[in-house]
Amino acid sequence: DAGVIQSPRHEVTEMGQEVTLRCKPISGHNSLFWYRQTMMRGLELLIYFNNNVPIDDSGMPEDRFSAKMPNASFSTLKIQPSEPRDSAVYFCASSTDGQGSTEAFFGQGTRLTVV
């Protein structure tokens, strides 16, 4: 398996523009996570999906952020409108489900810069 695939790897956009980050989880994994990493706040969980359903979005910072998972092999994280403080590395991760699951597999991340 190719692992968790994220695109784009880098994104530079102007304040106010819409940004869409994409993620393909590992086939067979039914849990998907979006994390944001900054120097100030570390690695924060934004949202967690299980079987394509959003279970916990309490980490989503504002209404400007939204995430979808239309099927088991694809998820998006959208920021509209983007602001400079959204600049960060956004990671998608996936894992299997249940008590026996003990590991999350991360994609290479999308480095977002909002100018």
Judged by beta carbon, residue 12 or residue 15, the one nearer other proteins is 12
Judged by beta carbon, residue 10 or residue 17, the one nearer other proteins is 10
Taking the complex as a whole, how short is the minimal distance between the CB of residue 13 and other proteins, in angstroms? 20
In which element (H, E) is residue 65 found?
A: strand 65-71
Burial class (CB in 10 A: 0-12, 13-18, 19+), 57: middle
Judged by beta carbon, residue 48 or residue 65, the one nearer other proteins is 48
The SS3 assignment for 67 reads strand
Taking the complex as a whole, how short is the minimal distance between the CB of residue 81 and other proteins, in angstroms? 28
Judged by beta carbon, residue 53 or residue 62, the one nearer other proteins is 53
Taking the complex as a whole, how short is the minimal distance between the CB of residue 20 and other proteins, in angstroms? 20
Burial class (CB in 10 A: 0-12, 13-18, 19+), 99: exposed
Residues 85 and 107: their CA atoms lie apart, in Å, by 22
Taking the complex as a whole, how short is the minimal distance between the CB of residue 18 and other proteins, in angstroms? 25
Kindly list the residues in this chain that would bind other proteins in the complex (CB under 8 A): 31, 33, 35, 42-45, 48, 50, 55-56, 91, 93, 95-99, 101-109
